[in-house]
Structure 1
Amino acid sequence: MNATEYAIIVAGGKGTRIKSKLPKQFLELKGLPILMHTLQAFYRYSSSIKIILVLPEDDFETWEGLCKKHNFSQPLILQKGGDSRFQSVKNGLDKIDSDGLVAIHDGVRPLVSEDIIGASFRLAAVHQCAVASVRLKDSIRMTDQDNTKAVDRSKFRLIQTPQTFQVDLIKNAYRVKEDASFTDDASVAEYSGHIISLFEGSYENIKITTPEDLIVAEALMRK
């Protein structure tokens, strides 16, 4: 029997770096809010996936208005976000009441492919955890106050989402007290003693954070 597949889509951005009064997840990309493109990627992967959308409570009304405007009626569970990403993911996990696999994904990564989503679930079924990542393209240097030092970039990876886990593993991991070192879900799982398995993501799976990212995303969607 196949494990139940869940996705927690976390969308709590404020649009500060993208210089927008509207939260960045609601900005339009090719006529549709960024967040809807992200959700549609998961529905394309599977019509039976159970999606939990985590939004700041103040954004519920905006989201409902956008759903009406764009005739968006795909089934999902809407959950109130917290004061941090950690708290928002934890709130999303609270909506899962059975075991299975859960992919945790940034609401502003709308170009994630069905192949990457599928790979994350297949690998998490085997390894309990699967985190998308890509190799560095540029040279990197380590710096301190006075010096810089060349570092072997082949030893490093840029981490993306989805980050997919066996449900009980990540729910137990999120029972710890929040810490500033928790930059993503993998760091929470690692803190709880779990080995993090990486798999090859995609350079097109960009996170839309700045105005330039919007331009790149539009170009990639025209391909």
Structure 2
Amino acid sequence: MKYYAIIVAGGSGNRMQSTVAKQFLLLDGKPVLMHTLTAFDQCKYRPEILLVLNIHQHSYWEELCLKYNFDIPHKVVSGGEQRFHSVKNGLKIIKGNGIVAVHDAARPLVSAALINRSYDVAEEKGNCVAGITPTDSVRKILEEGNESLNRNELALIQTPQTFQVSTLRKAYQVPFRNDFTDDASVVEFAGFKINLIDGERENIKITYPEDLEIATIFIKKRELS
């Protein structure tokens, strides 16, 4: 069985209040994206890594790899207009079948254990998506007001989202829709049942400036343990 990882790195610095795209911001002395690729390289399956980047960022990424002596093997793929199109571009590089994990570049703290479990479950059941139960109370916004939801019946979805290549390839044959917020929504639209697995509280997505501070704390905690 062959294993792949599509790392989607199309984020900008808008909500980070930065002119530098968030995947290139420094975390514990090196760009966020390098932490992400390292996590996949350290998992037991050692997948072929496909990094999907905006074509205008390719040369900058090459410069960063030289600057930080980053030599983990990976192939850079041009990104698309939406995340949907970027994943589709990554899929085009994969020949034949296998298991593919799609992961947000801005989730640099994903553990090798979660990545391994994702590949294991997807190989057994066809797909799996990581998620965690909300700890806050949740309300649904309605036109006429709002209503409380049972948080025990909800999941906050993370990545990796992992699939048999044939399943993901079939799902991505449809045209883009605005309600395709992740790969699970695309695969579900194609008629496949989604299998959830437990994600990790530390598998945060770098979105706001304070997220980098939180991620740094988690890294220091790992180093101490």
TM-score between both structures, scaled by the size of structure 2:
0.96
* Map of 1:107 onto structure 2: 105
Q: 1:131 aligns with which of 105, 129, 132?
A: 129
Runs of 4+ in 1 over 3 A off after TM superposition: none
Q: 1:142 aligns with which of 131, 140, 144?
A: 140
Gaps of 5+ in 1: none
Single out whichever of 137-146 and 156-165 deviates more from structure 2: 137-146
Distance 1:48 1:117, change over 3 A: closer
Q: State the shift of 1:144 in Å.
A: 1.6
Q: 2:173 aligns with which of 175, 185, 190?
A: 175
CA distance in 2, matches of 1:98, 1:213: 38
CA distance in 1, matches of 2:37, 2:152: 33
CA distance in 2, matches of 1:48, 1:40: 10
* Map of 1:185 onto structure 2: 183
* Map of 2:34 onto structure 1: 36
* Map of 1:68 onto structure 2: 66
3-state SS of paired residue (2:5): strand
Q: State the shift of 1:47 in Å.
A: 6.7
CA distance in 2, matches of 1:27, 1:91: 24
CA distance in 1, matches of 2:21, 2:166: 32
Q: State the shift of 1:49 in Å.
A: 1.4
2:109 is the alignment partner of 1:79: no
* Map of 2:203 onto structure 1: 205
TM-score between both structures, scaled by the size of structure 1:
0.97
CA distance in 1, matches of 2:145, 2:29: 48
Q: State the shift of 1:212 in Å.
A: 1.0
CA distance in 2, matches of 1:61, 1:46: 30
CA distance in 2, matches of 1:62, 1:38: 17
The residue type paired with residue 164 of structure 1 is: T
Q: Is the 8 A contact 2:161 2:184 kept in 1?
A: yes
CA distance in 2, matches of 1:48, 1:29: 23
Gaps of 5+ in 2: none
CA distance in 2, matches of 1:143, 1:213: 26
* Map of 2:194 onto structure 1: 196
CA distance in 2, matches of 1:48, 1:117: 10
CA-atom RMSD in angstroms = 0.9
CA distance in 2, matches of 1:48, 1:184: 24
* Map of 1:158 onto structure 2: 156
Q: State the shift of 1:54 in Å.
A: 0.3
* Map of 1:222 onto structure 2: 220
CA distance in 1, matches of 2:83, 2:54: 11
The number of aligned residues is 221
CA distance in 2, matches of 1:217, 1:123: 27
Single out whichever of 42-51 and 131-140 deviates more from structure 2: 42-51
3-state SS of paired residue (1:94): helix
The residue type paired with residue 110 of structure 1 is: P
* Map of 1:5 onto structure 2: 3
